[in-house]
Amino acid sequence: MSLQSPTALLRFSRNEWLFSVKAFAAAMLAVFLANWAGQPRPFWAMMTAYIVAHPLAGAVRSKALYRFVGTLVGSTAAVLLVPRFANAPELLSLTLALWVGTCLCLSLRDRTPRAYAFMLAGYTAALIGFPSVDVPLNIFDSAVARVEEIGLGILSATLVHSLVLPNGLAGTVLGLLDRTLGDTRAWLSDLTGRRDSGADRRRVAGDISQLRVLSTHIPFDTSHLRWTADAVHDMQDLVASLTPQLSAVEDRLRALESTEGGIAPDVAALLARVAEWITLPPEEARVQWPAIKDALDGLGQPAAVGTTANAAEGSDANAGADADADADADADADADADADADAGADADAGAGAGTATPLAADASVLDQWPRLLRLALAERLELLLTGWMHCMHLRADIDHGLSGAPMPTRPRPALTGPRLHIDLGMAALSGAAAVVAILVCCTFWVLTGWPMGSAAAMMAAIFCCFFAGMDDPVPAINGFLKWTVLSMPVSALYVLVLLPLVQDIWTLVLVCAPVFLLAGCFVARPTTMGAALPFVLGVAGTLAMHDTSQADLPAFLNSMLGQLAGVFVASRVTRLMRSVGADWSARRIQRATWRELDELARLPRSTARSQSYLLRMLDRISLLAPRVAQAGGSVPGVPTDDALRDLRLGADLVTLQAQRDQWPALALKPLLGGVADWLSQRMAGVLTPPPAALLGLIDEALRRLVTVCPSGGPWPSSARAMASALLGLRRNLFPEAPAAEAPTPDSPDAAAPTACPNGPPSPEFPPHRSEETPA
């Protein structure tokens, strides 16, 4: 527990007392119902009530459901396995160990509360199977009794926490959702105000992952929030989709500022309008959206770029030179108009005046660099603001549903693939460690004939499962062991002295209330839960000895010794097989990112799978941050200066893959293949910078793009998307590379097409952009 004064440590809040009273009431109700039903071990029901207890009613109900399903599956497995291998203890030990390891592996593949069902299915079979080895014919009765007792504990906890002053999820979920929106708005405001947004971007990634896990309890909530589950999930995906757009806008602004020597007045004015627009209510924002859209469309037009160039020249010249520049600009405008009317006009008429060079057949990337940056900025801003409007409408829908009104029907994006990062290798290793720990205990049990060997095997199974999601579970296992040992004197007092004097349920309530009510308050407090929970479970688990009429000192000491031996074996095996450092885990997560980027570069993916990649990438960012901090702030091979660079790179690769068929003359296949080869080298541990040849391929694709697209008018949406993706790829792989002339093609195949494709808009990344005014 934390080092505080005794007075502060015992000063509990109303919510902490409320949780403790409800948890204790549910536990006593479970004991009463189990006794009334004639169950052989009613204190199992009591312990289950405490295991299921949670401050949030929705979490209690979902946890209860998954625990009961897992208990039922585990009991069935024990009934099927124990009689078949009762005469072969070696095979029975191996079979139960493999069952626990397999279930644990499946549990770690699902990082939502559903994983609880797989975990319970694993170690419930061990809890029922190992004590029944000596009496295999009673396995069915034992399994039925365990399911009934656990079911009564689950029922009691669900009733009490759902009916007595339930603490709904609405406040927690909506508070986290609004905080995420606030961080996103602050990030965007920081961009428009040119302030540092590092803290906002780090919070957004963590909030999204935390919200995704918490929202899985929404369908079980006691408030109207459960009817808004689809809207909350869609809003999570939508807020996540804004992250690469925000990061891309930030990067484009940085590049534009470097190219133009500062933020141009027209860009600054647009950013100021955007900063004001995002603070408007949804209906007012919808009214003003056409004006914002027109400003975005005009950002990349030649006139806007020419104005910027004139302003830049004017700041370096004297008053007379300013007048000459203005005159030249007028001449340029006339020359451009003539060029549009007559293809043979002199396209270089206004080059000396600093206006935009017309996009002729020999145009270079350098000449059009400012316009390309502005087009890319406008493209990403439009995606960002459209997604923001959808977020605001979904948030209004959630408020509508909370009032009890029917939820508006909106189309939902179809996603395929997991949304959270899953490490199958570590899941398999955790399962293997559980198998070995159980087999070690069983081997000692079989060789020595120790009666409490079954308790050691059970505890090894439980503790290998409980903490398998951590990088290094050993400190947590040792901490649990420490507080279990400290609970032994209290357990001995109850089992050996107090419980033999109890004659009815009311006496039991009076005897248990002081310890369990006080400890329950500490369980409700996050800073002390890690110590209080093993203390409570240690006492509650030991009370089950009273059910078996073995409440004497030798039996008590033997039982505790068996439990401690199992925990010790779990800790040692985990240390040898499973524990990894924060830096090792961070590098493994980073390699998973590179592996998925390599797949994106090699093979086109559907929009749904691309959106799932975005969510997994954000989850990896939230997983990397604490591990890098724990490793001292830096990990070799893990970028810490710009954690969102890989996210932007993935978005650009998806857009390029989606546009390959529309733009065959851009020769994207060698470019994407080169990116994939470089990522493969990074996965292999060769952490070299991208090869310079990739920069040439990117600039060549940009040269071909600006050659074929219209010089005096707006570009089609597919061309803007390609320009934004190619510029993004260039900025992500070569952030320090200056704007340079594209190389001249060396072969006839490199000739540019004569027309700009004007097909339908590409599937954007993420797929939330609307082609009409946001509604």
For residue 15, give every residue at least 6 positions away whose Cβ sits within 8 Å of its Cβ, in sequence order, or none: 55, 167, 524
Cα first-last separation, the chain:
52
Q: Please answer whether residues 647 and 676 qualify as being in contact, where contact means their C-beta atoms are separated by less than 8 angstroms.
A: no
Lowest mean pLDDT of 217-221, 545-549, 649-653, 766-770, name the range: 766-770
For residue 556, give every residue at least 6 positions away whose Cβ sits within 8 Å of its Cβ, in sequence order, or none: 491, 492, 495, 496, 542, 545
Distances (CA, A) of 626 to 13, 203, 392, 446: 29, 12, 30, 43
Residue 546's pLDDT is what? Answer: 67
How much is the average pLDDT of 254-282? 86
Please, what are the domains in the chain? 12-167+423-577 (no CATH), 170-301+381-402 (1.20.120), 616-750 (no CATH)
Residue 558's pLDDT is what? Answer: 84
- Environment class of 333 (CB within 10 Å of its CB; exposed 0-12, middle 13-18, buried 19+): middle
How much is the average pLDDT of 57-64? 88
Q: Please answer whether residues 438 and 457 qualify as being in contact, where contact means their C-beta atoms are separated by less than 8 angstroms.
A: yes
* Closest alpha carbon to 486 in 533, 521, 546: 533
Q: How far apart are CA 22 and CA 26, in angstroms?
A: 6
Residue pLDDT, tens place only, 230-260: 888 888 888 888 888 888 888 888 888 888 8
Per DSSP, the residues of 662-724 read T-GGG-HHHHHHHHHHHHHHHHTT--PPPPHHHHHHHHHHHHHHHHHS-SSSPPPHHHHHHHH
Q: In this prediction, what percent of the chain has a pLDDT beyond 90? A: 32
- Give the model's confidence band at 408: pLDDT under 50 very low, under 70 low, under 90 confident, else very high: confident
Residue 756's pLDDT is what? Answer: 59
- Give the model's confidence band at 193: pLDDT under 50 very low, under 70 low, under 90 confident, else very high: low
How much is the average pLDDT of 488-507? 89
For residue 267, give every residue at least 6 positions away whose Cβ sits within 8 Å of its Cβ, in sequence order, or none: 253, 256, 299, 374, 377
Residue pLDDT, tens place only, 600-642: 898 776 555 667 777 788 788 878 877 887 777 677 778 765 6
Instruction: Answer with the residue of higher pLDDT: 354 or 519.
Output: 519
* Closest alpha carbon to 107 in 416, 438, 462, 415: 462
Per DSSP, the residues of 138-150 read GHHHHHHHHHHHH
* Closest alpha carbon to 374 in 299, 467, 472, 424: 299
* Closest alpha carbon to 385 in 272, 285, 268, 253: 285
Q: Which two tokens stand for residue 220?
A: 């079980």
Residue 312's pLDDT is what? Answer: 42
Distances (CA, A) of 642 to 129, 231, 247, 645, 652: 51, 31, 10, 6, 16
Q: Which of 37-42's residues contact partners 24+ apart within 8 Å by CB, and which partners? A: 37/148, 37/152, 39/145, 39/148, 39/149, 39/152, 40/145, 40/547, 41/145, 41/146, 41/149, 41/544, 41/547, 41/548, 42/149, 42/547
Q: Please answer whether residues 380 and 735 qualify as being in contact, where contact means their C-beta atoms are separated by less than 8 angstroms.
A: no
Residue pLDDT, tens place only, 116-143: 899 999 999 999 999 888 888 889 998 9
> Is 51's pLDDT higher than 80?
yes
Per DSSP, the residues of 484-549 read HHHTHHHHHHIIIIIGGG--SHHHHHHHHHHHHHHHHHHHHSHHHHHHHHHHHHHHHHHHGGGGGT
- Give the model's confidence band at 513: pLDDT under 50 very low, under 70 low, under 90 confident, else very high: very high
Distances (CA, A) of 22 to 19, 47, 57, 543: 5, 14, 11, 20
Q: In this prediction, what percent of the chain has a pLDDT beyond 70? A: 80
